[in-house]
Amino acid sequence: MQPPGITGQVNYEAPHKEESRALTAIVPFGTEHSPLLSSLPELPRPRTETASSHDERDERDAASRFWQSGMASWYGNQFQGHRTASGERYNLHALTAAHRTLPLGSYVRVTAVSSARSVIVRINDRGPYTRGRVIDLSYAAAAALDLPRTGTLLVKIETVAKQETGA
């Protein structure tokens, strides 16, 4: 007797004891009668990148953008010339920043919540290592937000595409 829903040849075997029976069904997979394949949902096909799918890629990038809000701080003279996590030397006059998790080399727009001033910076270091801070800005980036005067500032961070940076 075959279990319902299984077609094909059935083989009953008793591998060790007469009381224990193992059911082995031989069913051609990939057919419409295959019980395993007929119950699976259809999976989406993988996308291939072509020149005509450029607009679709931009839509996906826009949908997967990162944003975060929290306190920003800045670091200046004491780190001038020191190596950053990316391997380059820190330049307090460059528009760069340190973030804990964003990929090195990515660009973010940092907006001061209180004044709506914003600056686009490149992530080239890891940090900040002070609790409660989400980003450390170079002196030049901090000056664009009027941060050196206050020391810390509530900001919103959002990733931007390299094309938006003008670089």
The tally of domains found in the chain comes to 2
Q: Is residue 144 a contact partner of residue 119, using CB atoms and an 8 Å limit?
A: yes
| Domain match, 20 and 87 both | no
| Domain match, 76 and 24 both | no
Q: How many CB atoms lie within 10 A of CB 154?
A: 13
Q: Over the stretch 102-123, which tens digit does the pLDDT of each residue have?
A: 999 999 999 999 998 999 999 9
| Domain match, 74 and 141 both | yes
What sign results for the dihedral spanned by CA atoms 46, 52, 53, 57? positive
In a domain, 58, yes or no: no
In a domain, 60, yes or no: no
In a domain, 56, yes or no: no
In a domain, 127, yes or no: yes
Name the more confident of 3 and 82.
Answer: 82
pLDDT confidence band for 20 (50 / 70 / 90): very low
Q: Is residue 63 a contact partner of residue 126, using CB atoms and an 8 Å limit?
A: no
Q: Is residue 147 a contact partner of residue 118, using CB atoms and an 8 Å limit?
A: no
pLDDT confidence band for 84 (50 / 70 / 90): very high
Domain with 25 in it: 9-39
Element (H, E) at 59: helix 54-63
Q: How far apart are the first and last CA of the chain?
A: 72
**Average pLDDT of the segment spanning 131-141:** 94
| Domain match, 34 and 83 both | no
| Domain match, 160 and 102 both | yes
Rounded (5°) CA angle 68-72-73 = 155
Is pLDDT of 19 > 80?
A: no
| Domain match, 76 and 134 both | yes
| Domain match, 16 and 87 both | no
In a domain, 140, yes or no: yes
In a domain, 1, yes or no: no
Distance, CA of 124 to CA of 136 (rounded, Å): 11
